[in-house]
Chain A
Amino acid sequence: MSKVIVVTSGKGGVGKTTTSASFSSGLALRGNKTVVIDFDVGLRNLDLIMGCERRVVYDIINVINGEVTLKQALIKDKNCDNLYILPASQTRDKDALNLEGVERILNELKESFDCIVCDSPAGIESGAFTAMYFADEALVVTNPEVSSVRDSDRILGILAAKSKRAVDGLDPVKEHLLITRYDPKRVEAGEMLSVTDIQEILRIPLIGVIPESESVLQASNAGTPAIHLDKSDVAEAYRDVVGRFMGDERLPMRFVTVEKKSFLKRLLGGR
């Protein structure tokens, strides 16, 4: 049974596309046939993060309009065998997406993929709505600051009231909280909301905490999803998220407390 997973947040710049790229790569690495769809029509970014921008010929709007087949528009990922990317259009706007067209594409993808990851645009307008409407599960990406938490709260309200599952009276969309750009040091200093503060407000199960890291920016610029960065905290954290998503609930929550530096590390001046 294939799953449609939306990566959403309400607020922009919190790490939706970074998460979509790493999460879908992680699913593919674990052997799931995965496709990741960029719903940010007009502000196409996912192809840059995945490093396939030069291979984009056709996009989701071409498929919706019936100009090309789905097979022609799908791009195979360079790092994972099981992963395909369906890019957004850069020259159109969000109105070019329509629910019927998206549903047709999703149904066709469900025939050959296990996981369909939808990278939602920011906001709560038609683009974000279309991305979440058909979701079975949702990764709600939140930064540890009040405006991001409030926007996530808004998105959760919309998921619970207006998604297809809600409208059809099926089981509700399964919600997962993913906290990104988390800095335990700043939490201890009282400058950032803690995991507990965020959970107290949003009250949905936590699937992972991604630490703030410089390597994310480097990975984005290099067109490699952060999960492929060997030995980085971010890659480990995303692997944990994928593990928990696949049902491994025993994984301990890492990167939520300040790491005590060993004597040797301090002596060598490592960061």
Chain B
Amino acid sequence: MTIETDNSNVLDPNTQRQNPVSQVLPTFRPTMIINKPVRTGQRIYAEGSNLVVLGVVNAGAELIADGDIHIYAPLRGRAIAGAQGNENARIFVHSLEAELISVAGCFKVFENGIPENLRGKPVQVHLDGSDLIIQPLLS
């Protein structure tokens, strides 16, 4: 990440930065960002973090994340969020054409195709109890 040094509005030079009191850092891993197409046979695992994909995810490709998954392109393969059991994980897709989606082990396949109202639409996927909910994102 780059920080613009000449942008003096951001931080008053006279302001003293407070040093962190404790050295206990939260277990935080930066989001994994993929900016290329994910092609059939490829598997991407964002261990302990969120996953952001900017390229198309083709049929036969697999995205796995312990956190959330964001896909700003068509999802035609599989997306598995909350792979270690995080039930609050969500999947955000720009265009839903997936083979399979899963959150914390609850999965859905689209044997008879994706319902008309969701197919090719921007959606989010989350878990409600043991139900996998797919809803259109507000446009």
Question: What residues of chain A have their CB less than 8 Å away from a CB belonging to chain B?
Answer: 150, 153-154, 156-158, 160-161, 201, 203
Q: Measured between C-beta atoms, what is the minimum distance from A203 to chain B in Å?
A: 6
Contact A150 B40 (CB under 8 A): yes
- Chain A positions within 8 Å of B85 at CB level: none
Please indicate the chain B residues that have their CB under 8 angstroms from the CB of A154 in the complex: 39-41, 60
Q: Does chain A have a CB within 8 A of B56?
A: yes
Contact of A150 with B42 in the complex, beta carbons under 8 Å = no
User: Do A160 and B36 touch across chains, with their CB atoms under 8 A apart?
Assistant: yes
Chain B residue total in the interface (Cβ 8 A): 14
Closest A residue, CB atoms, query B39: A157
Is B102 on the interface with A (CB-CB < 8 A)? no
Known A157-B41, A157-B42, A161-B42: A201·B36 in contact at CB below 8 Å:
no
For B60, the chain A residues whose CB sits under 8 A away are 150, 153-154
Interface string of B36-62 (1 = CB under 8 A from A): 111111100000000000011011110
**Distance from B73 Cβ to chain A, minimum over Cβ atoms (Å):** 9
Q: Show 18 A/B contacts (Cβ-Cβ < 8 Å), sorted by A.
A: A150-B40, A150-B58, A150-B60, A153-B39, A153-B40, A153-B58, A153-B59, A153-B60, A154-B39, A156-B37, A157-B40, A157-B41, A160-B36, A160-B39, A161-B42, A201-B56, A203-B37, A203-B56
B42 with A201: CB separation less than 8 A? no
List, in ascending order, chain A residues with CB within 8 A of B38's CB.
157
User: Which 6 A-B residue pairs are closest in the complex by CB-CB distance?
Assistant: A157-B39, A153-B40, A153-B39, A154-B41, A157-B42, A154-B40
A161: which B residues are within 8 A, CB to CB?
42
Q: Which residues of chain B in 1-52 are interfacial with respect to chain A, using CB atoms and an 8 Å cutoff?
A: 36-42
Which of B36, B37, B56, B59 is close to A150, meaning CB atoms less than 8 Å apart?
Answer: B59
Q: When chains A and B are docked, how far (Å) is the Cα of A161 from the Cα of B37?
A: 11
When C-beta atoms are compared, the residue in chain A nearest to B42 turns out to be A157
- Residues of A near B59 (CB, < 8 A) are 150, 153
Whole-angstrom distance between the alpha carbons of A161 and B39 in the complex? 10
Tell me which residues across on chain A come within 8 A of B55, comparing CB atoms.
203
Residue of B nearest to A151 (CB): B40
Task: List residues of chain B with CB within 8 A of the CB of A157.
Answer: 38-42, 61
CA distance A201 to B36 in the complex (A): 13
What is the distance, in angstroms, from A174's C-beta to the closest C-beta of chain B? 14
Alpha-carbon gap, A201 to B37, bound state (A): 10
Contacts of B56 in A (CB 8 A): 201, 203
Shortest Cβ distance from B42 into chain A, in angstroms? 5
Encoded as 1 (CB less than 8 Å from any A CB) or 0, chain B from 55 to 76 comes to 1101111000000000000001
Cα–Cα distance between A153 and B58 once the two chains are bound (Å) = 8
